[in-house]
Amino acid sequence: MRIEHMSSRRFVVKPLDEHAECSRFGGLDARAKLVGVLVFVVASALLTRQDIVFVSLAMSLVLVGASALPIRHVAKLYLGALPFILLASLSFFLFSGVEKGVTMWARASACVLALIVLASSTQTFELFSGLRRLRVPAMLTTLLMLSHKYIVVLSDELSRMTLARRARAFSGGRNLLDRYALKVISFTAGMVLVRSSERADRVYEGLKAKGFEKDLTGWRTSVLGVSDIAFVMAFVAASAVLLVLQTEVIA
Amino acid sequence: MHIPDGLMDPLVAAIGWIEFLLVLGAVMIVSGRRIRERNLPRVALLSAGIFVAQILNFPVGGGTTGHLIGAALFAILAGPALAVIGMSVVIIIQALMFGDGGVTALGLNALNMAVIAPLMGWGVYSLVDPVLVNRTRLGRSLSIALAAWASVFVAAASCAAELLVSYAVSAGNYGIAAPISVPAMLGYHVVIGIGEAAITVGLVAYLASVAPDLLTTAKTGMVAAGTKSILKSDTVKAAVAIVLIFVLVLPLYILYASAGRDGLEQVVAEADLEEGSPVLNAPFSYGKNYFETLLGGILGFLAVTLSALGLLRLLKWRGAR
Amino acid sequence: MKHLELRDVEFHYEDGTKALNGVSMALEEGDKVAIIGPNGAGKSTLLHLIAGFRTPFSGEVRIGGKLLDHRNADLLRKDLGLLFQDPDDQIFMPTVEEDVAFGPRNLKLEDIEGRVANGLRSTGIEALAKRRPHRLSYGMKKRVALAGIMAMDPKVLLLDEPTSGLDPRSRTELIKLLKSMNRTMLIATHDIEAAAEIVDRAIVLNVGVVTEGTMKELVTAKDVLENIGLEVPPVSKLFGVLDAMGYEVESLPVSMDQAVEELTKVIDREGKHLHAHIHEHDHTKGGKHVHEHSRGRKEESVVE
């Protein structure tokens, strides 16, 4: 659930990968990044000992630092994920004690930060391409790529529409009973859907007119290099360390 | 209700992944050819449209906002199979591109919002609409509203179930305790569901007046030939969809029944509470029964709904003769 | 063998209304033909039908001599290059050069690198190769789309409103570009001026063929054009006015080039001067009719 305060209304979809070029990890093969980060996240999610969880969190922070991503960007995304984490932590504080609450918060944060780095330092198309090369079915990855492209196009159109709407002094409504507000919102959403549907047939023809058959793939595909392998091995090693610590300590 | 990583018990998350992949795989195989032939861009564009529509926040009151989920809408526009695939795409993009929802939790998030929500929405709509649409002028709007609300509410309920089972099974290491998770999820989403219902109704009304062919060709163009036939088979399919949701939640109950209670007792033991502090103790005595209450509630809701609809359908069929 | 041939093509929309009625045309290699018509005339539909996207239709369409039907549509389309009205409908890849490579790669053509380079060069956007398309201006996006089509080396270019939405400079550049290309092309447009600069002949379409001929011929059929909501280009209008004022114009120019040509002829005829006659009319009884004849620096006043 996304609870946003009304004043922070942003209708432009800014994909995370705008920083991909300046991130230090930008040049790595997407497959390596995907596998490495996923292994780390899975391992981190399995941790329950507080001290080890903080080791994992520290690793995530190191990753954020190493990625050379702008801190504000990372912070903004992290804050976006916070509400749910906080709700969970709250219940922990009430029922399980502070310790478990803090553990949960640290664990979730470690995972979220790692994912933020992954998403922000990889071009979205490359990310989906990487998934494809990791054997995810073509239908899915093609859908992902196309949807992504048109999310950007449609949100541009939407931000132009809402600019016009706001110019006519509509400011978002007060509460659920504000019928007028709901009407305007559903009409705006309706416009978006109509446009998206009208595009659908044209996009089909656009694809066919360029000979598309079933798979959207990149042109110059990267080859796994030394740094990619090193990246993956680092994560695998880190995850192994975490898991060993977790299980040994329990035993 | 995009759950981040590290919140759900690993076993629950694994169940989520297995169920999601099974359903998605089945749907992709069954609808694969139909999509590849012509509808790939249409699903992609609908996913994009719904994604962007989700950005439009509606006011809930008190300065907070909620946003459209759109699962019921997708199902009404494109049928259940394509809605499952399309919403899955939305969920994946949200997780991978925006960090909205984790990846170990992706199975559960997708299960809730890309499987249960659209199936519920479609099921309710298919069952209720033929009955209501001729009965009253607002019949169509009412059926859409019910479908949208139900899709949100049941998805939230399954999310609450996952949270409380996680809590119970992991002896308090994961998840959210029932006394918080259930009221929070359900309470919040009762209201969100109303917003979703209102917007979905408004949306469909807009489409009906501006681009009516969207509503008909979207459906008939993409829904398999079989469903265009007699009303009866549509009912059966809708009922199957709703029952399927049930089947999906069942493993959670089994898990809870086998491992959950012990876990909760362990929580009580570890919590180290003073004897006789009623405020803190009380929830624990309810906590054990929460899942049953929840499940019973959902069961009851579904049972009543299905039987009422079945009854109405029967009456209508009788009346039409 | 004609590159493109249509015979009596008819097409209905889903709701039954007629979109195209008895359209016929023939294009030899290198022909440049414009399809001119108002909005809703079916120009877009015609182009998309030729590209095999509108079946079933009645009549015949032959691409490179082969008859088009729903079975071979995908195959025949490989020889066509359809430029969409909205470039976002045919740009799919994250960088410009990847998108230009998209078509050739799908068609499994040879020398993708070379084709991409040629496509970018011929549309003048080499500098944009590594840029992201969605950040580009509308005019640049159109060129990216065109480059992508050119890289496929199609026999026939089908251009759907290529100049619409462009600012004046982009429009001029695109017109220049299309003019310089040595390719068979069919341009659907309501921008008569642009068409006049590029093509040799045109077909006026309004569901059915209203008239056809060279651009010069068409421009004299002012009533026909206005009947379907089109206007002759400003240049032609101007010379029409001048003609009424006493200039003998051999034929109405439709483009700037032709206008200059025409004026040059007139200057030569009149002995290297331009005469401008200004009449002042005084409609009162017994009023004077002053006729001022200005010829460069010399001024004479003749009172009639």
CATH numbers and ranges of domains, chain C: 4-215 (3.40.50.300), 233-276 (no CATH)
Same domain for A188 and A72: no
Does the beta carbon of A102 lie under 8 angstroms from any beta carbon of chain C?
A: no
Residues C287 and B6: their CA atoms lie apart, in Å, by: 99
pLDDT at A187: 83
- pTM of the prediction? 0.85
pLDDT at A158: 80
pLDDT at B275: 40
Same domain for A141 and A208: yes
Given a contact cutoff of 8 angstroms between Cβ atoms, the answer to whether A20 and B73 are in contact is no
Residues A130 and B60: their CA atoms lie apart, in Å, by: 39
Same domain for A78 and A108: yes
| Residue A234 lies inside a defined structural domain of this protein | yes
Share of chain C above pLDDT 70, in %: 87
Mutation test of the interface with chain A: which of C92, C136, C158, choosing the one with the most A Cβ atoms within 10 A?
A: C92
Does the beta carbon of C80 lie under 8 angstroms from any beta carbon of chain A?
A: yes
Does the beta carbon of C134 lie under 8 angstroms from any beta carbon of chain A?
A: yes
Same domain for A242 and A196: no
Same domain for A208 and A194: yes
Same domain for A231 and A160: no
Mutation test of the interface with chain A: which of B1, B7, B43, B169, choosing the one with the most A Cβ atoms within 10 A?
A: B7
| Residue A3 lies inside a defined structural domain of this protein | no
CA-nearest residue to A17 within chain C is: C94
pLDDT at C154: 93
Looking at the complex, report in whole angstroms how far the Cα of residue A217 sits from the nearest Cα belonging to chain C.
Answer: 9
* CB-CB neighbors (< 8 A) of C134 in chain A: 149, 152-153, 156
Three-state SS annotation for chain B:
CCCCCCCCCHHHHHHHHHHHHHHHHHHHHHHHHHHHHHHHHHHHHHHHHHHHHHHCEEEEECCEEEECCCHHHHHHHHHHHHHHHHHHHHHHHHHHHHCCCCCCCHHHHHHHHHHHHHHHHHHHHHHHHHHHCCCCCCHHHHHHHHHHHHHHHHHHHHHHHHHHHHHHHCCCCCCCCHHHHHHHHHHHHHHHHHHHHHHHHHHHHHHHHHCHHHHHHHHHHHCCHHHHCCHHHHHHHHHHHHHHHHHHHHHHHHHHHHHHHHHHHHHHHHHCCCCCCHHHHHHHHHHHHHHHHHHHHHHHHHHHHHHHHHHHHHHHHHHHC
Closest CA to C145 of A217, A203, A12, A123: A203
Instruction: Kindly state the average pLDDT of the residues C265-287.
Output: 62
Looking at the complex, report in whole angstroms how far the Cα of residue A121 sits from the nearest Cα belonging to chain C.
Answer: 15
**CA B279 vs CA A94, A96, B285, C55: distances in Å:** 11, 14, 11, 72
Same domain for A206 and A114: no
Looking at the complex, report in whole angstroms how far the Cα of residue B316 sits from the nearest Cα belonging to chain A.
Answer: 32
Asked which of A113-117, C42-46, C79-83, C258-262 is least confident by mean pLDDT, the reply is C258-262
* Global ipTM: 0.88
At residue C21, φ and ψ (nearest 5 deg) are: -135, 105
Looking at the complex, report in whole angstroms how far the Cα of residue A74 sits from the nearest Cα belonging to chain C.
Answer: 23
Cβ neighbours around A56 below 10 Å, total: 29
- Interface A-B: count of C-beta contacts within 8 A: 296
Strand C156-160 with C184-189, pairing: parallel
* CB-CB neighbors (< 8 A) of A194 in chain B: 206-207, 210-211, 214
Greater confidence (A248 vs B42) lies with B42
Q: Which of A202, A216, A220 sits opposite C84 (nearest CB)?
A: A202
Share of chain B above pLDDT 90, in %: 26
Same domain for A236 and A185: no
Does the beta carbon of C44 lie under 8 angstroms from any beta carbon of chain A?
A: no
**Would the CB atoms of C90 and A211 count as touching at under 8 Å?**
no
* CB-CB neighbors (< 8 A) of A141 in chain C: none
Given a contact cutoff of 8 angstroms between Cβ atoms, the answer to whether B108 and B16 are in contact is yes
The residue type at C32: K
Looking at the complex, report in whole angstroms how far the Cα of residue B164 sits from the nearest Cα belonging to chain A.
Answer: 11
Q: Show the domain range for A153.
A: 137-218
| Residue A243 lies inside a defined structural domain of this protein | yes
- The string of pLDDT tens digits covering residues C138-187 is 999 999 999 999 999 999 999 999 998 898 888 998 999 999 988 999 99
**pLDDT band for position B274 (cuts 50, 70, 90):** very low
Same domain for A18 and A90: yes
Does the beta carbon of C161 lie under 8 angstroms from any beta carbon of chain A?
A: no
Share of chain C above pLDDT 90, in %: 41
pLDDT at B83: 93
Mutation test of the interface with chain C: which of A219, A220, A221, A222, choosing the one with the most C Cβ atoms within 10 A?
A: A219
What are the residue ranges spanned by the domains of chain B? 10-320
**Would the CB atoms of B5 and A4 count as touching at under 8 Å?**
no
- Number of domains into which chain A is organized: 2
Looking at the complex, report in whole angstroms how far the Cα of residue B220 sits from the nearest Cα belonging to chain A.
Answer: 15
Average pLDDT, chain B: 78
Instruction: Kindly state the average pLDDT of the residues B200-208.
Output: 89
- The string of pLDDT tens digits covering residues C1-30 is 788 999 999 999 888 888 898 999 999 999
**Would the CB atoms of A186 and B206 count as touching at under 8 Å?**
yes
**CA C292 vs CA A130, C67, C132, C275: distances in Å:** 79, 65, 61, 11
- The string of pLDDT tens digits covering residues B219-268 is 443 333 333 333 345 667 777 777 788 788 878 877 877 776 667 666 66
- Token pair belonging to B237: 């399919």
Same domain for A228 and A111: yes
Greater confidence (B318 vs C62) lies with C62
- The string of pLDDT tens digits covering residues B154-202 is 899 889 888 888 888 887 788 887 777 788 788 888 888 988 998 899 8
Same domain for A173 and A74: no
**pLDDT band for position B279 (cuts 50, 70, 90):** very low
Those chains having 3 or more beta-carbon pairs within 8 angstroms of chain A are B, C
Given a contact cutoff of 8 angstroms between Cβ atoms, the answer to whether C43 and C188 are in contact is yes
**Would the CB atoms of A211 and C152 count as touching at under 8 Å?**
yes
Q: What CATH code would you report for B10-320?
A: 1.10.1760.20
Looking at the complex, report in whole angstroms how far the Cα of residue A243 sits from the nearest Cα belonging to chain C.
Answer: 38
Same domain for A159 and A123: no
Does the beta carbon of A4 lie under 8 angstroms from any beta carbon of chain C?
A: no
Q: Which of C48, C82, C134 sits opposite A152 (nearest CB)?
A: C134
Residues C218 and B115: their CA atoms lie apart, in Å, by: 60
**pLDDT band for position B100 (cuts 50, 70, 90):** confident
In this structure, is the dihedral angle defined by the CA atoms of residues B13, B14, B15 and B20, taken in order, positive or negative?
Answer: positive
Residues A17 and B98: their CA atoms lie apart, in Å, by: 10
CA-nearest residue to C98 within chain A is: A219
**Would the CB atoms of A210 and C90 count as touching at under 8 Å?**
yes
Per-residue b or e along B94-104, where b marks 16 or more CB atoms closer than 10 Å to that residue's CB = bbbbbbbbbbb
pLDDT at B126: 84
| Residue A104 lies inside a defined structural domain of this protein | yes
Splitting chain A (251 residues) into consecutive groups of 10 residues, what average pLDDT does each group show?
33 60 76 93 91 92 90 86 77 73 89 91 89 93 94 85 64 62 81 88 93 86 86 92 81 47
Average pLDDT, chain C: 84
**pLDDT band for position B319 (cuts 50, 70, 90):** low
